[in-house]
Structure 1
């Protein structure tokens, strides 16, 4: 089954949103062009389904799409919710593949702890506990251990432009440095 047919089927069953599916398709197309065999909405275990999984000779890559959606119940803490959601995606999905990336639109600014872009050997248990508090704000099930957090890693950011059907891969440190000019103005956001 073609990726697009699969996503249309999932959309018709109301299992995915159309804007999310469009991002998955454009991202999947870019990965296919880079030589990956690609699956969308791929089940990893009983609790986790990743958005895009790419496999090729040098290993597996998972891309989790982040649109910036804030549900009504988080309307009074949108920055905290968004940061927690992104951190939780990194913490919960990066262990399933050799490389993990977040995919987003050019019109949304991802906010994630610097913790995830440093080598695991430089992270402390105290830092991991702080990040765990953040990840558990949105999702506490399934639980994530301190060890899993210390080993979690963000390798890339994919900026996905649906209008032009293009995807640009950006180093997460460079992305964070650029985004920090916007994020630093928000007192609710802490590094």
Structure 2
């Protein structure tokens, strides 16, 4: 094996041991190290995937990573009895192409992931670093039956600016379900569950800022509104 593989394997194995799931996650550690060594996944992504997988393994789930499901590749697939939990990991990386509109890009990315992947499991969660203020669109904080046509149209319009190959149908946004978020803490080899509406980060505020600055892909952002700290404080 290459030195690149060996370095990452050692790092991931130590992290799994810190989480108390070294033996349980041995196949996961090896798979992630292989994918990293081949350049398929970045270092940050494999570490976050392992933390998510480790927490689920500790909770009694049978866990696999980078699992093919219905034509898509699921970051973390966890099974317990008949339940299937799908977890998609977000690192917070912004491609250079969208450096002028990172908030809008991430709001669209998280919405697209939820629409595409939540249908694959009984439950669906987004996992991201503890310090990442995830711009989750307000429509996804509501159960499907509470999403108004206006909310759905706005959500689809946002995602369509970034994802058109293939476009995501409106029905996917209507049926999407975000059941939880998993806040990943690699520093402490841990993670914390939270309901989406109570996750740290001012999601509604961030999405509003994203929508106010976005013009079109490749275009220049507009003038963003300035929000005071007092106005940003949640009640």
Tell me the TM-score normalised to structure 1 length. Answer: 0.90
Structure 2 residue runs without a partner (length 5+): 1-25, 213-235
Which residue in the other structure is 1:93 paired with?
A: 117
Match of 1:26 among 51, 62, 65: 51
Match of 2:198 among 167, 174, 178: 174
CA drift of 1:15 comes to: 0.5
Pair 1:43–1:57, CA change in 2 (3 A): same
Q: Do structure 1's residue 53 and structure 2's residue 81 form an aligned pair?
A: no
Runs of 4 or more above 6 Å deviation: none
Structure 2: distance between partners of 1:133 and 1:186: 14
Which residue in the other structure is 1:133 paired with?
A: 157
Which residue in the other structure is 1:10 paired with?
A: 35
Structure 2: distance between partners of 1:111 and 1:182: 7
Structure 1 residue runs without a partner (length 5+): none
Residues paired across the two proteins, number: 187
Pair 1:185–1:54, CA change in 2 (3 A): closer
Pair 1:181–1:53, CA change in 2 (3 A): closer
Check the 8 A contact 2:53/2:63 in 1, yes or no. Answer: yes
Check the 8 A contact 2:137/2:207 in 1, yes or no. Answer: no
Check the 8 A contact 1:37/1:55 in 2, yes or no. Answer: yes
Check the 8 A contact 2:88/2:125 in 1, yes or no. Answer: yes
Give CA deviations for 1:139-159 in whole Å, capped at 9, x if unaligned: 222332222210101111101
Structure 1: distance between partners of 2:115 and 2:207: 26
Give CA deviations for 1:7-52 in whole Å, capped at 9, x if unaligned: 0100111000111000111110110111111110111133x21110
Check the 8 A contact 1:183/1:189 in 2, yes or no. Answer: no
CA drift of 1:183 comes to: 3.8
CA drift of 1:69 comes to: 0.4
Pair 1:58–1:127, CA change in 2 (3 A): same
Check the 8 A contact 2:136/2:207 in 1, yes or no. Answer: no
Give CA deviations for 1:104-134 in whole Å, capped at 9, x if unaligned: 1111110111211212112233322221111
Pair 1:133–1:15, CA change in 2 (3 A): same
1:68-83 equivalences in 2 (<5 Å): 68-83=92-107
Check the 8 A contact 1:87/1:134 in 2, yes or no. Answer: no
| Larger Rg, first or second structure (1 or 2) | 2
